[in-house]
Amino acid sequence: MMFMDLDNFKDINDSLGHDVGDQLLKDVAKRIGGLLRKGDTLSRIGGDEFVVVLTGLKSPDDAGQVAQKIIASVGQPYEIGPYTVSTGCSVGIAIYPDDGADATTLMRHADTAMYVAKSSGRRSYQFFSADMNLRATERVRMESGLRGALERGELQVYYQPRVDLASGTLTGTEALLRWRHPEHGLIQASNFLGIIEESGLIHSIGEWVLQQACTQAQTWQVYYGETFSISVNISVRQFNRALPARVRNALEASGLDPRVLELEITESSLGRNVEESRTILGELRKLGVRIVVDDFGTGVSSLSHLRRFNVDGIKIDASFVRGMPKNVDDRVVVKAMIEMARSLRMNTIAEGVESEDQLELLRGMGCEEYSGHLLGEPVTVEEFQRRWLSFNDKVVPLAPRCH
């Protein structure tokens, strides 16, 4: 039995309308059905969830091959009215009778495996295993803890510096979410981002991070005197028609100059629906904020799309930076990115710089800014101020915590 769930369907439904969402579900069902044999069963059990029952398989590997075909087919773009819509799916697989002797147990275990696949990066499949029940239980506990974490003051914003590669002067800082768990200590956002996205908490927590970052940046601007940018990551779930209003509210509440704020948006977010992305970016540009493409090189945005988005900069993904000293292909790719950005008058930022060798290569290629462990780990606001903003024995006060 296969249990599958579409990626970001709610966002598509909310932004493009229920008619587009309904047609997408029909098109997805048609594609899946076209890959099945006579005797296999496909059913939609609600929302954007589908179940497939495969019979007469010789081995579990056969189910894996079918899952791969389904993921590849569902992941191709859809032409629905005036829109080009992109989605994907995550698939969980349970095998009879090893993973359950009845339909209810099989479906529950396939559902558990699907959530593991989704949390592993989406557009993948997973076979059920016994330890997944423990992981599913832990996931429920984490989600329960996160639901009250903001009110309990457990969420914090850490700040990572960014500097000019030529002069070494501070040019910006990135606001990064952390969870100070009462039992497990400090947890990075990458360990719970999937949970807050799937649960819908990303909207309230993401808005809080944005407000906190803007308020802190305004405080620094008042007391530090010189302007440096503050960047905030926007997840794929946040990148919708409601984003410009949320950004406007954060700017107005903090009094921050919009030119100080940078929004980091991933290639995958921009590429889901090009026309919709252009509309959202246009509204953000009217506010005066800067747009940077995050994790550049890992998505599917073409050069023509990048030009149409009219962004201010690109952030070269750490995976390319990491491999540069020993991998000539990574060096070629990074150099090409920098030259392309320069030709389009875009700023270039290298993230994840860990060594002097990487830094020297980037300097030789003409990269403008960098961040990473070589420069400094993400730190609390107090530590960031101590390292980067103290001058002439002047003490910079903390910004008030937003609620």
The CATH number linked to 317 is: 3.20.20.450
Does one domain contain both 209 and 267?
yes
List phi, psi (to 5°) of 315.
-115, 110
The pTM of the full predicted model, rounded to 2 decimals, is: 0.73
Residue 306 in tokens = 């990048």
Nearest Cα neighbor of 82 from 11, 10, 17, 14 is 17
For the chain, the three-class secondary structure string (H helix, E strand, C coil) is: CEEEEECCHHHHHHHHCHHHHHHHHHHHHHHHHCCCCECEEEEEEECCEEEEECCCCCCHHHHHHHHHHHHHHHCCCEEECCEEECCCEEEEECCCCCCCCCHHHHHHHHHHHHHHHHHCCCCCEEECCCHHHHHHHHHHHHHHHHHHHCCCCCEEEEEEEEEECCCCCEEEEEEEEEEEECCCEEEEHHHCHHHHHHHCCHHHHHHHHHHHHHHHHHHHHHHHCCCCEEEEEECCCCCCCCHHHHHHHHHHHHCCCHHHEEEEEEHHHHHCCHHHHHHHHHHHHHHCCEEEEEEECCCCCCHHHHHHHCCCEEEECHHHHHHCCCCHHHHHHHHHHHHHHHHCCCEEEECCCCCHHHHHHHHHHCCCEECCCCCCCCECHHHHHHHHHCECCECCCCCCCCC
Does one domain contain both 199 and 80?
no
Does one domain contain both 50 and 168?
no
* Alpha-carbon span 318 to 340, nearest angstrom: 18
Note the maximum CA span of the chain.
78
Name the domain count of the chain.
2
Does one domain contain both 72 and 170?
no
Residue 198 domain-assigned (yes or no) = yes
- Predicted local confidence at residue 393, as pLDDT: 42
Does one domain contain both 70 and 150?
no
Sign of torsion over alpha carbons 43, 46, 48, 49: negative
Last residue of a domain, one of 96, 128, 160: 128
Q: In which domain, by residue range, is 224 found? A: 143-390
* Alpha-carbon span 389 to 391, nearest angstrom: 6
The CATH number linked to 37 is: 3.30.70.270
- Predicted local confidence at residue 84, as pLDDT: 85
Last residue of a domain, one of 78, 93, 128: 128
Last residue of a domain, one of 94, 128, 162: 128
Residue 403 domain-assigned (yes or no) = no
Residue 81 domain-assigned (yes or no) = yes
Residue 40 domain-assigned (yes or no) = yes
End-to-end CA distance of the chain: 45
Does one domain contain both 172 and 308?
yes
Q: Judge contact between 78 and 136, C-beta under 8 A.
A: no
Does one domain contain both 174 and 315?
yes
- Predicted local confidence at residue 394, as pLDDT: 43
Residue 401 domain-assigned (yes or no) = no
Does one domain contain both 18 and 54?
yes
- Predicted local confidence at residue 304, as pLDDT: 62
Does one domain contain both 147 and 294?
yes
Residue 395 domain-assigned (yes or no) = no
Which residues, including other chains, have CB under 8 Å from residue 296's CB and lie 6 or more apart? 267, 314, 315, 316, 317, 337
- Predicted local confidence at residue 186, as pLDDT: 95
Does one domain contain both 112 and 157?
no
Residue 136 domain-assigned (yes or no) = no
Residue 317 domain-assigned (yes or no) = yes
Does one domain contain both 83 and 153?
no
pLDDT per residue, tens digit, the chain (403 aa), is: 999 999 888 878 877 888 999 999 999 999 999 999 999 999 999 889 999 999 999 899 999 999 999 999 999 999 998 888 889 999 999 999 999 999 999 999 999 999 888 877 678 999 999 888 777 778 788 989 999 999 999 999 999 999 999 999 999 999 999 999 999 899 999 889 988 988 889 999 999 999 999 999 999 988 877 679 999 999 988 999 999 999 999 999 999 999 999 999 988 788 777 888 899 999 999 999 999 999 887 654 555 667 778 899 999 989 899 999 999 999 999 999 999 999 999 999 999 999 999 999 999 999 999 999 999 899 999 999 988 886 534 444 555 666 6
Does one domain contain both 165 and 205?
yes
